[in-house]
Amino acid sequence: MASAILPLPAAAPAAAPSRILVTWVVMLATFITVLDSTIANVALPHMAASLGAASDTVTWVLTSYIVAAAIATPLTAWLGGKVGRRRLFVLAIGGFTGASVLCGLAQNLDQMVLFRLLQGMSGAFLVPLGQSFILDAWPKAKHGQAMALWGVGIMVGPVMGPVLGGWLTDNFEWRWVFFVNLPFGLLALFGSLAVLPATVEVKRRFDAFGFVALGIALGALQLMLDRGQQLDWFASREVMLEAAVAVASLWVFGVHIATARDTILPAALLRDRNILTGFTFIFLIGMMQVATSALLPPMLEQLYGYPVVTAGLTMAPRGIGTMAGMLIVGRLIGKVDPRAMMFFGLVLVAGSMWWMTGFSPVMGTMPFLTTGVVQGFGIGFIFVPLNTLSFATVAPALRTEASSFYSLLRNLGGAVGVSLSVGIIARQSQIAHADLGGALTPFTVPAADPNLARALGATGDTVLSLVDAAVNAQAAMIAYLDDFTLMAWLSAAVIPLIVLLRLPKVVVVDPAHAAME
Summarised one tens digit per residue, pLDDT across range 68-107 is: 877 787 787 778 777 778 888 889 999 999 998 998 888 8
The list of the chain residues with pLDDT below 70 reads: 1-17, 37-38, 40-42, 53-59, 140-141, 143-145, 147-149, 151-160, 162, 199-205, 229, 400, 436-469, 504-517
**Pair (256, 307) in one structural domain:** no
Across the strands, what pairs with 336?
333
Residues 336 and 241 in one domain: no
Are 119 and 65 spatial neighbours (Cβ–Cβ below 8 Å)?
yes
Do 289 and 417 share a domain, yes or no? yes
Last residue of a domain, one of 222, 243, 263: 263
Name residues whose C-beta falls within 8 Å of residue 144's C-beta, 6 or more positions apart in sequence: 333, 334, 384, 388, 507, 508, 509, 511
Instruction: Give the pLDDT score at 316.
Output: 75
CA distance 29 to 146: 16
- CA 431, CA 428: separation in Å to the nearest integer? 5
Quote the pLDDT of residue 248. 92
Q: Of 263, 278, 305, which residue is a domain's last? A: 263
Helices 85-105, 16-35: axis angle to 10 degrees equals: 30
pLDDT at 152: 65
- For residue 396, tell me if it sits in a domain: yes
**29 located within any domain:** yes
Residue 375 is assigned to a structural domain of this protein:
yes
- Are residues 87 and 163 part of one domain? yes
486, 424 contact by CB (below 8 A) = yes
Cα 475 vs. chain centroid, distance in angstroms? 27
Q: Residue 347: its pLDDT value, please?
A: 92
Report the chain's C-alpha Rg in angstroms. Answer: 24
In this structure, are residues 274 and 382 in contact, taking their beta carbons and an 8 Å threshold? no
B/e letters for 379-390, b = 16+ CB within 10 Å, e = fewer, are bbbbbbbbbbbb
Residue 464 in any domain: the answer is: no
Q: How many domains does the chain have?
A: 2
Cβ atoms 32, 181 nearer than 8 A: yes
Task: Return the percent helix, strand and coil in the chain, to nearest 5.
Answer: 80, 0, 20
Q: At what angle do helices 126-137 and 143-171 cross, to 10 degrees?
A: 140
Q: What is the CATH number of the domain that holds 91?
A: 1.20.1250.20
43: nearest Cα among 230, 172, 156: 172
Q: Could you give the angle at the alpha carbon of 408 between the alpha carbons of 294 and 248, nearest 5°?
A: 100
Residue 111 in any domain: the answer is: yes
Looking at 220, 243, 263, which one is the last position of a domain? 263
189 found inside a domain: yes
Tell me what pLDDT residue 507 has.
42
3-state secondary structure (DSSP) of residue 336: strand
Please indicate, yes or no, whether residues 236 and 346 belong to a single structural domain of this protein. Answer: no
CA distance 216 to 325: 38
Residue 53 is given by DSSP the state: -
Q: Are residues 256 and 270 in the same domain?
A: no
Q: Give the H/E segment covering residue 346.
A: helix 338-356
In this structure, are 50 and 122 located in the same domain? yes
Q: Are residues 376 and 307 in the same domain?
A: yes
Neighbours of 261 (CB within 10 A): 11
The reply to whether 387 and 282 lie within a common domain is yes
Shared domain check, 271 and 255? no
| pLDDT at residue number 403 | 75
Identify the CA nearest to 128 among candidates 90, 160, 80: 80
Could you list the residue range(s) of the whole structural domain that residue 235 is in? 208-263
CB 460 within 8 A of CB 447: yes
Nearest to 206 by CA among 69, 119, 394, 80: 80
Predicted pLDDT at 12: 46
Asked if residue 365 and residue 230 are part of one domain, the reply reads no
Gap between the Cα atoms of 216 and 456, Å rounded: 58
d(CA 394, CA 130): 16
> So what's the pLDDT on residue 344?
93
Residue 361 lies in a domain: yes
Domain-embedded: residue 443? no
Spatial neighbors of 417 by CB under 8 A, at least 6 apart, are 286, 287, 288, 289, 290, 291, 294
CB 35 within 8 A of CB 161: yes
**Same domain assignment for residues 306 and 413:** yes
